[in-house]
Homo-oligomer: A and B are copies of this chain.
């Protein structure tokens, strides 16, 4: 029965709901799917710190250490999120946790933050992945926007195919990335241990301080670097969100995967930052600040480290860039998992359009996937695929949802303790979990304040505007649905009410087969009144009347004078009048429609029917009956 359509070829056969169980993920697949985002963020986090510190000139570079240490420390957040996995086996995204523990306003705030974030995850990761490619192949530097958009499109198609197949595709670059980074550390260690001095290609480039930073200025700069480095934390929440996708025991598997991810992330980030310091990598927002011509193709910090470490082993360098690009582009997939799922939860709670609620026929939320892709593409094009500008928008949302989620967890544990049924043996555990979450909440709140202060004027204001707009939008959608639901609700004792009289009006443009078919349909229903109706200029009207009379159809023809040769207006006015004259009855407008077989034939026929129907929909007491007449080319 299923036809072969372009959609089928692209996204595969539909899946049955019963097969949903089969798509559950073992840990070895869950790690690449949910952790490509947090793992891959180490590819750009170091560079973002260096970029900020470069503003203060080369002498400030030692501050990197403090910033990096602070961030590694912040991976404590991971511990905090592990508690969420245990508490919410059904999926503990910031929205769910906030809504259950902190109320509607907090929940919608978290939702706004998460939606903005998912979009930016896609944009930032893909753009950063493309930067890894152009670092290896500088001749592609001019095509960053096109390449970024192309990757988003590929991801969209993959995600429309469904989650399981995606998992396999993701395993290779994610594990490859981790492996190659550790190999790089090993090579660097061996080479330095054997007496080599390794320096980055940019080590000798001058680094001009944009200003002199002392006192409070210096502190702010250090904080700004710290805030930029916090990009390494992005994506940590993905696992707690995706607990239901894990195999049983879900919570335990998810928590363990989270721990592995935290360990990998922290060591890789620390290692890369160490090498950047040792090799003296110099980066700046534009090549001119490094004394180079403006159109010099630039390399990412990670690419410079790789090139310096691997030296003549070019194969390893290109492999590093390939897996970096791979893991970054696929990191965007975290958002392709999270965004549609969150949108669906929001739609179920009637805060988002109902179209986002249903899964498509491949068991993924197709509308959400497409919406995410379109928004991300818009951002990439608008920001010209410039990573540093996009990243400014990124961190606020992340830390808003972190803070709300951890604070919600504290409240969650407090309630557990308050419940008299909670066994004493568990209370100790709960106290420990609550403490961990409280530390997490405090720390993420602190970072949020720092990020807000240091990033606001650098582009973050856009997010500060977008989030409240989303918040209000969701409130508005809910209000609309509530109003509609209230209006259409009926108590069980109410029965359908039949109209007292049926007035049928058959629209006529000529006497031909479609008209006769519509007339026959209407006559057979024995309406209270039946008339044929047309709107015509005087000269055409006379010819139609003669033809009508010659056919002797037994139905009166009413001709509306239409001096402007307008059809829709006079007919709608006439029908409105009829409806107003008999409030107990109903007016049915019967429209004979030509149906042609090819889409390109449709514009050859007057579009009056469509415009009429649109106008009549809004007329109280009027229904529209379409009687299609299939032309030969349209018959099956």
Which residues of A approach B to under 8 Å, CB–CB? 1, 14-18, 353-355, 358-359, 361, 477, 480-481, 483-484, 487-490, 492, 494-499, 502, 511-514, 516-517, 519-521, 523-526, 537-538, 550-554, 563-566, 573, 586, 588, 593-596, 601, 603-607, 613, 617-618, 620, 622-636
Residues from chain B with a CB closer than 8 A to the CB of A488 are: 512-514, 594, 629, 631
Question: Which of chain B's residues has its CB closest to A594's CB?
Answer: B484
Known: A490-B512, A553-B495. A628 touches B623 (CB 8 A): yes
Contacting A489 at CB < 8 Å: which of B1, B513, B605? B513
Q: Are A634 and B605 in contact (CB under 8 A)?
A: no
Contacts of A477 in B (CB 8 A): 604
Please report the C-alpha to C-alpha distance between residue A603 and residue B481 in the assembled complex, in whole angstroms. 12
Instruction: From known contacts A520-B496, A520-B497, A613-B626, infer whether A16 and B564 are also in contact, taking CB-CB under 8 Å.
Output: yes
Alpha-carbon separation in the docked complex, A607 to B358 (Å) = 13
Per CB-CB distance, the 5 closest pairs between chain A and chain B, nearest first, are A498-B524, A496-B520, A488-B512, A361-B564, A496-B519
| Shortest distance between the CB of A632 and any CB in chain B (Å) | 6
Q: How far is the CB of A471 from chain B (nearest CB, A)?
A: 17
* Assembled-state Cα–Cα distance A498/B530 (Å): 14
Q: Are A586 and B521 in contact (CB under 8 A)?
A: yes
CB contact under 8 A between A353 and B604, given known A488-B629, A594-B484, A624-B625: yes
Tell me whether B489 and A516 are in contact (CB under 8 A): no
Identical subunits present: 2
CA distance A563 to B359 in the complex (A): 11
Complex-state Cα separation, A618 to B563, whole angstroms: 34
Complex CA–CA separation, A620 to B552 (angstroms) = 27
Q: Which residues of B contact A563 (CB under 8 A)?
A: 14, 16-18
- A359–B564 CA distance with the chains assembled, in angstroms: 8
A550/B17 in contact, CB under 8 A: no
If A513-B487, A604-B477 touch, does A623 touch B358 (CB 8 Å cutoff)? no
Contact B606 A354 (CB under 8 A): yes
Given known contacts A516-B496, A623-B626, A626-B617, is B606 in contact with A487 (CB within 8 Å)?
no
State how many angstroms separate the Cβ of A48 from the closest Cβ of chain B. Answer: 38
Given that A480-B604, A623-B625, A623-B628 are known contacts, is A512 also in contact with B489, CB under 8 Å in the complex? yes
Q: Are A593 and B617 in contact (CB under 8 A)?
A: yes
A14-B564, A564-B16 known; A516 vs B499 contact (CB < 8 Å)? no
Assess whether A480 is in contact with B632, with CB atoms less than 8 Å apart.
Answer: no
Q: How far is the CA of A57 from the CA of B358 in the complex (A)?
A: 72
B623-A627 in contact (CB<8A): yes
A459 to B391, CA, bound (A): 48
Can you name the residue of chain B whose Cβ is closest to the Cβ of A563? B16
Docked complex Cα distance between A459 and B537 (Å): 45
Given contacts A14-B563, A354-B606, A499-B524, 4 further A-B contacts (CB under 8 A): A355-B603, A487-B631, A488-B512, A618-B634
A58 to B158, CA, bound (A): 64
**What residue in chain B is nearest A14 (Cβ atoms)?**
B564
**A511 adjacent to B490 (CB under 8 Å):** yes
| A617-B595 CB under 8 A given contacts A358-B565, A524-B502 | yes
Instruction: Determine whether the beta carbon of A525 is less than 8 Å from that of B523.
Output: no
User: Given the complex, which residues of B lie within 8 Å of A613, measured CB to CB?
Assistant: 626
A514 to nearest B CB, angstroms?
6
Write 15 A-B pairs (CB below 8 A) sorted by A numbering.
A14-B563, A14-B566, A17-B565, A353-B603, A354-B605, A354-B606, A480-B604, A490-B512, A496-B520, A498-B521, A498-B524, A502-B525, A613-B626, A617-B628, A624-B626
| Interface pair B361/A566, CB less than 8 Å apart | yes
Known: A488-B629, A617-B595. A355 touches B607 (CB 8 A): yes
CA of A498 to CA of B489, assembled, Å: 37
Given known contacts A512-B489, A565-B17, A618-B634, is B553 in contact with A496 (CB within 8 Å)? yes
Give the residue of B496, B618, B634 whose beta carbon is less than 8 angstroms from that of A523.
Answer: B496
Q: Nearest Cβ in chain B — how far from A418, in angstroms?
A: 33
In the complex, residue of chain B having the shortest beta-carbon distance to the beta carbon of A576:
B636
Chain B's closest residue to A497 (CB) is B520
**Residues of chain B within 8 A of A635, CB atoms compared:** 620
Q: What B residues does A481 contact at CB under 8 A?
A: 604
With the chains together, A595 CA to B623 CA distance in Å? 12
Shortest distance from the beta carbon of A420 to any chain B beta carbon, whole Å: 34
- Contact, CB under 8 Å: B492 / A551: yes
Please determine whether B631 and A484 come into contact, CB atoms closer than 8 angstroms: yes
| Residues of chain B lying within 8 A (CB to CB) of residue A628 | 617-618, 622-624
Contacts of A630 in B (CB 8 A): 618, 620
Contacts of A603 in B (CB 8 A): 353, 355
Contacts A490-B513, A564-B14; is A595 near B618 (CB within 8 Å)?
yes
Instruction: State in angstroms the CA–CA spacing of A514 and B14 once bound together.
Output: 31
Distance between Cα atoms of A626 and B604 in the complex (Å): 25
Chain B residues within an 8 Å CB radius of A489: 512-513
CB distance from A541 to the nearest CB of B (A): 12
Nearest Cβ on chain B to A592's Cβ, whole angstroms = 10
Q: How far is the CB of A594 from chain B (nearest CB, A)?
A: 7
Measured CA separation A553–B494 after assembly (Å) = 9
